[in-house]
Amino acid sequence: MTALDIGGIMLAAMLLLIWLGMHVGVALSLLSVVGVWLMRDNFVLATKFLALSAYDAIANHIFGVVPLFVLMGLLISMSDIGRDMFQVANRPLRRMPGGLGVATVAANAVFAAITGISIASAAVFTKVAIPEMLKLGYTARFATGVVAGSSVLGMLIPPSLLLIVYGFLAETSIGALFIAGIIPGLLLSLAFAALIFVLATRFPAFVGAPGAVARKVTDTGPQVGYLSMVPVVGLIVLVLGGIYGGFFTPTEAGAVGALGALLLALARGRRKAARAGVKDYWQVLIETGHVTVSICFLLIAASIYTRMLGLAGIPQHLVGLVESAELGFAAFIALYVVLILVMGTVLDSTSIMLVVLPLVLPIAQSFGVDLVWFGIVTVLAVEIGLLTPPLGIAVYVIKSTLNDPSVRLGDIFAGAAPFAAIMLIVLLLIILFPWLSLALL
């Protein structure tokens, strides 16, 4: 057997084991070690690869961004700031058709500029926005769909955990990826808002008939002044502006943002009669650790997997295949997006990128594409999987956070479907007009 055969068999076995439910990191490391062992007939060398990956793959200053941005997002999620954002966005919008839906999108877009995890957005806005929308007569299907759809903004608008992971895998500047995510994120927000407006005016049965109620209700809770947003917006400007202006490395921006988020949370805790106790802060710290570990463990596995693939010569082989098939660039991108959408039915976002990118990046480079643009395309395609069955994680998070048996999983998937369709259109636009992601760089 040639090295190429062994590599191919290992790759197929990995996919099978991951599908069966083996931990993704374990499957990648185990079969990579076995693959290197078989190819080189040297067990000690293979284990050395593993030990090297465990240290070298993550012993880098830049990996500080993972825990720090996660910490920042979780602190803000804990501190009820999402509710204020929603209330503020509500004030000017509540009387227009679908106004609360648009407010949810707007609040989510701002929230996304602080948090890098879509599921954090989904959890927060399930609690904040869905009860309000149901109260005003929106259908559960529409209300949950809006929250599911707009939660994907969390991963597109910087900071974004998926862009960070992509940056590691593609050895691309994380700062540049963050900046490139801004326009596509805003474009997607606008497209969502437009979709909601059209749904509310043309398909009132899907949305519900909140117009009559909304006009009567003038106030659904404590009014939150526009000025209360100043600290949060200040934090966003500081963090993203700091990266854009070159004052901070992304790691430093994460640390400054996390400290700022901590101060904001503490300040609010004082006003609202000790809303969060020491225990809650400790829980946030532990949760931050768990998210960091699960990502870094995958990155370690991805590092040894990439080494194994390289040793087997699989990436070069694929580049050769693509060249000899005279596959055009358009066909390549189309196949790539389809591949990711299909994998999205089985795997979570990070794992998809981990498995696919080491194989596809060499091909993309052989076409001479801009890797920053390719990153935005990848993340957007991967994120569509958050909304589509059977594995739409955003949908499951909403279901479990809502904890209301009358809202079925199928309802939420149905509600999210129009938003997934809009994402696909925006993805096409970004593919067709690369300047949408590259203009600010």
**Which residue from 10, 14, 18, 235 is in contact with another protein, where contact means CB under 8 A?**
18
- CA dihedral (337, 339, 342, 345) in degrees, to 10, reads -90
**Which residue from 10, 36, 50, 93 is in contact with another protein, where contact means CB under 8 A?**
50
Residue 39 in the binding site for another protein (CB under 8 A): no
Quickly count: other Cβ atoms within 10 Å of residue 114's Cβ. 31
Write the interaction track for another protein spanning residues 212-241; mark x where CB under 8 A is met and - where it is not: ------------------------------
Write the interaction track for another protein spanning residues 111-140; mark x where CB under 8 A is met and - where it is not: --------x---------------------
CA separation, residue 36 to residues 4, 17, 212, 304, 351 (Å): 11, 18, 67, 10, 21
Cβ closest to another protein, residue 101 vs residue 260: 260
Restricted to residues 136-195, the positions that interact with another protein (CB under 8 A) are none
Q: Which helix (H) or strand (E) holds 387?
A: none
Query: Which are the contacts of 196, defined by CB distance < 8 A and separation ≥ 6?
Result: 98, 101, 102, 105, 146, 207
Residue 412 in the binding site for another protein (CB under 8 A): no
Residue 258 in the binding site for another protein (CB under 8 A): yes
Total length of the chain: 441
Residue 398 in the binding site for another protein (CB under 8 A): no
Residue 317 in the binding site for another protein (CB under 8 A): no
- In 223-370, which ranges are continuous DSSP H helix? 230-244, 250-271, 278-312, 314-324, 329-343, 349-366
Please state, in angstroms and rounded to a whole number, the distance separating the CA atoms of residues 304 and 29. 6
Residues 307, 308, 309, 312, CA torsion sign: positive
SS3 136: coil
Question: DSSP secondary structure string, 124-135?
Answer: HHHHHTHHHHHH
Specify the stretch interacting with another protein by CB under 8 A; choose among 59-67, 77-85, 100-108, 145-153.
Answer: 59-67
CA angle 423, 322, 364 (to 5 degrees): 50
**Which residue from 166, 168, 248, 305 is in contact with another protein, where contact means CB under 8 A?**
248
**Which residue from 14, 38, 39, 58 is in contact with another protein, where contact means CB under 8 A?**
58
Residues 338, 344, 349, 353, CA torsion sign: negative
- Rounded to the nearest whole angstrom, what is the least distance from the CB of residue 229 to another protein in the complex? 24
Restricted to residues 66-105, the positions that interact with another protein (CB under 8 A) are 66-68, 71
SS3 408: coil
CB contact at 8 A, 317 and 4: yes
Please state, in angstroms and rounded to a whole number, the distance separating the CA atoms of residues 363 and 195. 35
Residue 321 in the binding site for another protein (CB under 8 A): no
- Rounded to the nearest whole angstrom, what is the least distance from the CB of residue 439 to another protein in the complex? 29
**Which residue from 287, 367, 369, 441 is in contact with another protein, where contact means CB under 8 A?**
287
Residue 298 in the binding site for another protein (CB under 8 A): yes
**Which residue from 348, 376, 392, 418 is in contact with another protein, where contact means CB under 8 A?**
348
**Which residue from 347, 357, 398, 427 is in contact with another protein, where contact means CB under 8 A?**
347
How many chain residues are in contact with another protein, going by CB under 8 A? 63
**Which residue from 286, 325, 342, 425 is in contact with another protein, where contact means CB under 8 A?**
286
Please state, in angstroms and rounded to a whole number, the distance separating the CA atoms of residues 347 and 340. 10
CA angle 360, 366, 370 (to 5 degrees): 80
Specify the stretch interacting with another protein by CB under 8 A; choose among 143-151, 179-187, 256-264, 325-333.
Answer: 256-264
Residue 294 in the binding site for another protein (CB under 8 A): yes
SS3 195: helix
The token pair that represents 161 in the structure block: 């955990």
Please state, in angstroms and rounded to a whole number, the distance separating the CA atoms of residues 60 and 310. 22
**Which residue from 12, 190, 230, 293 is in contact with another protein, where contact means CB under 8 A?**
293
**Which residue from 104, 126, 139, 251 is in contact with another protein, where contact means CB under 8 A?**
251
- Rounded to the nearest whole angstrom, what is the least distance from the CB of residue 102 to another protein in the complex? 29
Residue 280 in the binding site for another protein (CB under 8 A): no
**Amino acid occupying residue 426:** V
Q: Which residues bind another protein (CB under 8 A)?
A: 17-27, 29-30, 33, 47-48, 50-51, 54-55, 58-61, 63-64, 66-68, 71, 119, 247-248, 251-252, 255-256, 258-259, 282, 285-294, 296-298, 346-348, 350-351, 390-391, 393, 397, 400
